[in-house]
Amino acid sequence: MAVAARNAELTIARRRHVGTGVFFLLVALLILAFFVRTTAPDLTTTFGLNPARLTTALKLPDLVLPSLPSLWFLTVVCAFLGGWQLAKGFRSTGWALGVVAFAFVAAFLIWAARGKSMNLVGMLSSSVLRSIPIALAAFCGILCERAAVINIAIEGMMLTGAFMAAWIGSITHSLWIGLLAAMLASGLLAAILAVLSIKFKVDQIVSGTVINIFATGLTSYLSAKFLQVYQNLNNPGIFKPIPLPLLSRIPLIGPVFFEHNIIVYITFLLLILIHVMLFYTRWGLRTRAVGEHPKAADTLGVNVFRTRYINVIMGGLVAGIGGAFFTIGSVGRFDEVMTAGKGFIGLAAMIFGKWTPLGAFGSSIIFGFADSLQTKLQILQVPIPSEFLLMAPYLVTMIVLAGVIGRAVPPAADGQPYEKQ
Amino acid sequence: MAPVLELRGITKAFPGVLANDHIDLTLEEGEILALLGENGAGKTTLMNILYGLYQPDAGEIFVRGKKVEIHQPNDAIRLGIGMVHQHFMLVPVFTVTENVMLGVESMRYGLFLDRRKAADKVREISKQYKLEVNPDDYIKDLPVGVQQRVEIIKVLYRKADILILDEPTAVLTPQEVEELFKIIRSLKAQGKSIIFITHKLKEVMAIADRITVLRQGRAVGTTTPAEATMEKLAQMMVGREVELVVRKKEAKPGDVVLDVENLHVVDHRGTPTVRGVTFNVRAGEVLGVAGVQGNGQTELVRALTGLMRPEMGRIRINGVDITNASPREILEQGVAHVPEDRQKDGLILKYPVHDNLVLNTYYVPPFAKGLNLQFQKIYEAAAERAYEFDIRTPNIYVPVSTLSGGNQQKTIVAREFSRPIRLLIASQPTRGLDVGSIEYIHQRIVQKRDEGCAVLLVSPELDEILALSDRIAVMYRGQFVAILPAAEATRQQLGLLMAGVTAAEAMAAEEAPAAVEENPAL
């Protein structure tokens, strides 16, 4: 009986595997049809591995690849993995999926830059930069949802933060005060969300949406009325990049990670801090208990409501930093609705990263990469309409959420108000 | 010497009910006090007051002769009162240690959790009270019996000497219950005082030093196992004489009605929950499916009733293949379903009683005529059924949510039974009901069987299975590990099968004669 059941389970599992195998073969076919077919045989692709201004200790040679053979190689890799998956099946498909995804991106880059040169370091460095607001949004999401409060108002909090940083930064002529103002404003919105969803038990999606609409409306109005009219109110300046001593001189890694402004480094610090706090401190243990089984925490004398308030407001402060990055961390001025859905992509990164800071940061980099790829390709004049290229980060978000991650398990009590009875 | 704990005149009202009505209760040092009563008698409310989860409207609490106020669980913990809740208060994704230390964390440098120190202390307690458990295991991987040990360790870790166990045996196999009783006796031997809440008479007789019986929010008496008999306790509990035995005639099995072949079901998380089940049920017999909750019974029933799509296998009813049929196609084959969770799957709580009574027939005459509902017909039929099935409701127009659990269940039974049916699928039909309602529903099920209906009864209550079944299947980890005639089955043997011991081993361990068939509530 046990053997029969085992066999039947294998049959069921195999049915699921077939889908993955077919997907791998489809990727191979895509590379073949779109990239191999349109590449002339004698072209080469050059990837630059040094920053534009040489700052590293060592100059790396450029990576020069023969375009067509490389593409063929990647096609064969994908086809082989697909065939193997269909014939035998991998025990775990995670790594194979990673290889196929990497192969597709590599093929795309090789094809896009065929006969030209592309600076890989520049693109990766800009990926990191673009991932920062996404990562901070994801951290905000983690802080809230680990205590079981869904926060879809991150977008609105960041937008408000961006506005406040630009405005207060301009009138005080201090970027730090601007950053502080961004955090406080965003924290205030978070406090409102907390009161609505914890005390008044309003549906958390509704209260989050309300805050988003409020933030969009208010910042757009104030911006149109004041910031765009009086330019001295919208000229805060930006945090300048600070290359970190020693670290920034490491080839490849240095220019990609350690030649950025202070907000980027704050993000790195928060990554470590939140990870340690969540898994190694009393606060973290209680937070996770409140998110998974609030009643259990309550019966052991943990104050469920207080924990949730603290976490949501902390999340708001973090989202404020993310908002400030848009203005005083990158372009130095506020424009209407400039967060462009990054708060929502941050939530996707949080889910993709399975509600862990490390996972969320990794996913943010993937989304950041998709974002920077899109700009790079426009410069390379790839024959794809720019409207489609602009979709890239959002497409990646959808593909990742729908297909790749499968079942990510949120905290068990996520989104449920706590009733003490 | 003053008793360890004394409650005087505890009163607590909820909207519409007086849950506790001037209850007095004493607990002496080192004794096991059983708090006996039906569901809704106010046992859990009383204990939640004692643990600080509810505030009483009136009354006083004394601990070791001193009057105390308990506003929150922390106060209770400080007074040495610990509670093992009926629904475990454990975080499934935490380890044993993390669950135990939550709220009273051991720290290193005042900043970081000291898991090792806490784990050592868990090991120490585990050794002292013979509560075997590995501190590093995750709760979600542990069987319920072990989870319960973790709950007890949690209480002891907080240095409690008054332990409240709220319906601790509800989720255990008979062997696990024995194990628990040993633990309770060893706790008593080490000086702990214990309140044991239950509605099962047999357990009270086996473990208690003294028994206090609650009925409708009032303490109706205190006795000891030596003085009391099961019949007398049942009478105190219900307020009238109760039939403890289900009377039924010899079964006369007819044609196969339900035929299931190699059924596989995967739950929403992708975990296989039903793994290759083959069986049939004949007209005029009851097949009981025994097993600890969570072994695939829920998914089996959902697949049979069309609420979940099986991954593999075949289901035939009256020879018709209904494997991928819709729930309506299945019920039109003459299938009645009494679902496990009556409030979620059995009723639309906000709808009035009369609408709930026609949820499966509203679309056909006489209740529908073209696109119109025939309300007059619906009211008439509802009134008739309410009378016939003894549904106690002010009238048929009130929302079904205002009815008591027993009357809600009678509403479902009335709906499902008042049309021609050939197969009855009943999942935990008496869960949480009072003895009177249980008696009634059991009689109805037996009556259906005698009329020639095939019955599939799923229940984690072994007594219910033994009382009603003609054949018994034991489900363990998604498989039927045995199907045996009820006459040959014993509690002992079924208990072993439920715990995953193979059929051959269970036969070998066989010793006790067939158990007396008793009403499962007791």
Q: Is the pLDDT of residue B425 over 50?
A: yes
| Residue A185 near residue A161 (C-beta atoms within 8 A) | yes
Q: What is the pLDDT of residue A52?
A: 75
Residues of chain B positioned with their CB less than 8 A from the CB of A293: 89-92
Counting every residue, how long is chain A?
421
Nearest CA in chain A to B270: A407
Residues B353 and B395 placed together within one structural domain of the fold: yes
Query: To probe the interface with B, which of A16, A285, A298, A407 has the most B CB atoms within 10 Å?
Result: A285
Distances (CA, A) of B114 to A285, B96, B128, B185: 12, 14, 22, 32
Q: Is the pLDDT of residue B517 over 60?
A: no
CB burial of residue B214 (10 Å; 0-12, 13-18, 19+): buried
Report whether pLDDT(B520) > 60: no
CB A393 within 8 Å of CB A126 = no
Query: In the structure, what pLDDT confidence band is assigned to residue A406 with cuts at 50, 70 and 90?
Result: low
Residue A89 pLDDT > 90, yes or no?
Answer: no
What average pLDDT does the segment B433-437 reach?
Answer: 74
Token look-up 């959808």 returns A398
3-state SS, one letter per residue, for A260-325: CCHHHHHHHHHHHHHHHHHHHEHHHHHHHHHHHCHHHHHHCCCCHHHHHHHHHHHHHHHHHHHHHH
**Pairing between β-strand B66-68 and β-strand B58-63 as defined by DSSP bridges:** antiparallel
Give the B-side interface with A, CB within 8 Å: 51, 53-54, 72-74, 77, 83, 85, 89-94, 98-99, 101-105, 107, 111-113, 154, 262, 264, 266, 269-270, 272, 275-276, 311-312, 478-479
Same domain for A110 and A130?
no
**Greater pLDDT, B1 or B196:** B196
**pLDDT given for residue B513 in this prediction:** 42
> Do B233 and B310 fall within a single domain?
no
The pLDDT assigned to A113 comes to: 86
Nearest partner of A302 among B122, B212, B295, B94, judged by Cα: B94
The confidence band for B512, taking pLDDT boundaries of 50, 70 and 90, is: very low
The most confident of the ranges A306-320, A377-391, B207-221 is A306-320
| Residue B441 scores a pLDDT above 50 | yes
User: Residue B519's pLDDT band (boundaries 50, 70, 90)?
Assistant: very low
- What pLDDT, on the 0 to 100 scale, is given for residue B377? 93
Sheet harboring B272-282: ordered strands across?
Answer: B272-282, B256-266, B312-317, B320-321
Same domain as A298, residue A170: yes
Between B292 and B306, residue with greater pLDDT: B306
pLDDT reported for residue A102: 86
Q: What is the mean pLDDT of residues A171-196?
A: 97
In this complex, which of A4, A281, A295 lies closest to B89 when CB atoms are compared? A295
If phi over 0 gives left and psi between -120 and 50 gives alpha, with beta otherwise, what is residue A40? beta
Tell me what pLDDT residue B514 has. 40
The strand pairing partners of B6, in sequence order, are B26, B62
Instruction: Please tell me whether residues A86 and A149 are part of one structural domain.
Output: no
Average pLDDT over residues B483-494: 89
Higher pLDDT, A46 or A176: A176
Please compute the mean of the pLDDT values over residues A72-81 and round it to a whole number: 94
- Among B479, B474, B499, B500, smallest CA distance to B489 is for B474
Average pLDDT over residues A91-103: 79
- Percent pLDDT > 90 in chain A is 58
| CB–CB contact A280 B112 (8 Å) | yes
- Residue B61's CATH number: 3.40.50.300
| Predicted local distance difference test score (pLDDT) of residue B100 | 96
State which residues form the domain around B369: 342-419
Among B77, B93, B312, whose Cβ lies nearest the Cβ of A12? Answer: B312
pLDDT of residue A7 exceeding 70, the answer is no
Is B346 in the same domain as B462?
Answer: no
Cβ neighbours of B24 (radius 10 Å): 14
Phi, psi of B455 (to 5 degrees): -125, 125
* Bridge partners, residue B62, by sequence: B6, B67
Confidence (pLDDT) at B516: 40
Nearest CA-CA distance, residue B188 and chain A, Å: 23
Tell me the CATH number at A382.
Answer: 1.10.3470.10
Average pLDDT score over residue span B163-167? 92
Nearest CB among B105, B269, B270 relative to A282 is that of B105
Do A18 and A155 reside in the same domain of the chain? no
CB pair distance less than 8 Å for A296 and B275:
no
Name the β-bridge partners of B95. Answer: B138
In order, the DSSP letters of B405-469 are: HHHHHHHHHHHHHSS--SEEEEESTTTT--HHHHHHHHHHHHHHHHTT-EEEEE-S-HHHHHHH-
DSSP for A27-51 reads HHHHIIIIIITTS-TT-EEEEE-S-
How many whole angstroms separate alpha carbon A397 and alpha carbon A377?
19
Residue contacts between A and B (CB atoms, under 8 Å): 89
pLDDT of residue A405: 57
Instruction: Note whether B292 and B465 are within 8 A (CB).
Output: no
* B510: pLDDT strictly greater than 60: no
- Whether residue A286 is predicted with pLDDT greater than 70 in this model: the reply is yes
**What single DSSP character describes residue B401?**
G
Domain co-membership, B369 together with B499: no
Q: How many domains does chain A have?
A: 2
Within-domain flag for A337? yes
pLDDT tens string B458-475: 998 888 899 999 999 999
Q: What is the DSSP string of A168-218?
A: HHHHHT-HHHHHHHHHHHHHHHHHHHHIIIIIS---HHHHHHHHHHHHHHH
CA distance A345 to A134: 6
Q: Which of B206, B223, B238 is the last residue of a domain?
A: B238
Asked if residue B412 and residue B300 are part of one domain, the reply reads: no
Token readout for B377 is 């017909």
Cα-Cα-Cα-Cα torsion B334, B340, B343, B346, nearest 10 degrees, comes to: -10
> What pLDDT is recorded for position B239?
80
Same domain, B410 and B478: no
Pairing of strands B81-84, B162-166: parallel
Whether A110 and A220 share a structural domain: no
* Domain limit, last residue, from B238, B266, B290: B238
> How crowded is residue A147: how many other Cβ atoms within 10 Å of its Cβ?
30
The strand pair at B320-321 and B372-373 is best described as unpaired
Instruction: Give chain B's mean pLDDT.
Output: 88
Residues B128/B129/B135/B137 CA torsion (nearest 10 deg): 150
Contact between B83 and B155 under an 8 Å Cβ cutoff? The reply is yes
Asked if A270 and A382 sit in the same domain, the reply is yes
| Closest CA–CA distance from residue A4 to any residue of chain B (Å) | 7
How is residue B205 written in tokens?
């007789």
> What is the SS3 assignment for B323-383?
CCCCHHHHHCCCEEEECCCHHHHHCCCCCEHHHHCCCCCCCCCCCEECCEECHHHHHHHHH
- Are residues B116 and B182 located together in one domain of the fold? yes
pLDDT in the model for residue A269: 97
What average pLDDT does range A321-350 have in this prediction? 94
Residues B381 and B412 occupy one common structural domain? yes
Least confident of A371-380, B286-295, B364-373: A371-380
Average pLDDT for B311-340? 92
Question: Do B230 and B87 have their domain in common?
Answer: yes
State whether A68 and A154 are in the same domain: no
CA angle B116, B118, B124 (to 5 degrees): 105
- Please tell me the distance from the alpha carbon of residue A228 to that of residue B271, in angstroms, as a whole number: 57
pLDDT digits (tens, 9 = 90+) for A264-276: 999 999 999 999 9
Answer for the pair B40, B405: CB distance below 8 angstroms, yes or no.
yes
Chain B residues touching A9 at Cβ < 8 A: 264, 272, 275
Same domain, B85 and B25: yes
The H-or-E segment that residue A386 falls in is helix A386-399
A106 and A125 part of one domain: no
Closest in A8, A281, A296 to B89, CB measured: A296
Lowest mean pLDDT among B11-20, B24-33, B201-210, B309-318: B11-20
Interface test with A, best of B275, B300, B475 (most A CBs within 10 A): B275
Which residues touch B234 (CB under 8 Å, ≥6 apart)? B201, B241, B242, B244, B435, B522
Q: Residue A355 pLDDT > 50, yes or no?
A: yes
Output the pLDDT for position B130.
Answer: 87
pLDDT at A42 over 80: yes
Phi, psi (5° rounding) for residue B438?
A: -60, -50
Residue A413 is assigned to a structural domain of this protein? no
Counted domains in chain B: 3
pLDDT-based confidence at A5, cuts 50/70/90? low
Check whether the bond before B366 is cis (ω within 30° of 0). Answer: yes
Tell me, yes or no, whether A30 and A53 share the same domain: yes
Band (B257; pLDDT cuts 50, 70, 90)? very high
* Closest in B102, B111, B479 to A281, CB measured: B111
C-alpha–C-alpha distance, residues B40 and B228, integer Å: 23
Residue A39 has pLDDT above 60, yes or no: yes
Within this chain, do residues A102 and A138 fall inside the same structural domain, yes or no? Answer: no
- Quick check: is A334 in a domain? yes
Q: Read off the pLDDT of each residue in B169-191 and give the average, rounded to a whole number.
A: 88
Higher local confidence (pLDDT), A197 or A93: A197
**Mean pLDDT across chain A, nearest whole number?**
89
Q: Which pLDDT score is estimated for B247?
A: 76
Give me the helix-helix angle, A304-326 and A120-145, nearest 10°. 160
Q: What gap in Å lies between CA B12 and CA B305, rounded to an integer?
A: 42
pTM score, two decimals?
Answer: 0.81
Is residue A24 in a domain?
Answer: yes
> CA-CA distance, B238 to B216, in Å (whole number)?
9
Non-local CB neighbours of B363 within 8 Å, separated by 6+ positions: none
- At residue B518 the predicted structure's pLDDT band, cuts being 50, 70 and 90, is very low
* Contact predicate A67/A43, CB 8 Å: yes
Among all chains, which residue has been given the structure tokens 């104050």? A303
- How many percent of chain B have pLDDT more than 70? 95
Write the pLDDT tens digit of every residue in A139-157. 999 999 999 999 999 999 9
Q: Hey, are the CB atoms on B51 and A299 less than 8 Å from each other?
A: yes
Q: Are both B324 and B439 inside the same structural domain?
A: yes
Residue B399 has pLDDT above 80, yes or no: yes
Residues A203, A133 share a domain: yes
Residue A256 within any structural domain of the chain:
yes
- B280 forms beta bridges with B259
Mutual orientation of helices A154-172 and A342-352 as an angle, nearest 10°?
130
Backbone angles phi, psi at B48, to 5 degrees: -65, -30
Q: Name the residue range of residue A106's domain.
A: 2-115
Whose tokens are 């949730």? That residue is A308
Clarify whether residues B328 and B274 are in a common domain: yes
How high is the pLDDT of residue A10? 63
- State yes or no: pLDDT of B448 exceeds 60: yes
Residue B352: pLDDT over 90: yes
Q: What is the pLDDT of residues B52-85, one digit of tens each?
A: 988 999 999 999 999 999 998 899 999 999 999 8
A64, A145: one domain = no
Residue A3: band (very low, low, confident or very high) from pLDDT cuts 50, 70, 90: low
Task: Look at residues B460, B457, B476 and name the one whose alpha carbon lies nearest to residue B468.
Answer: B457
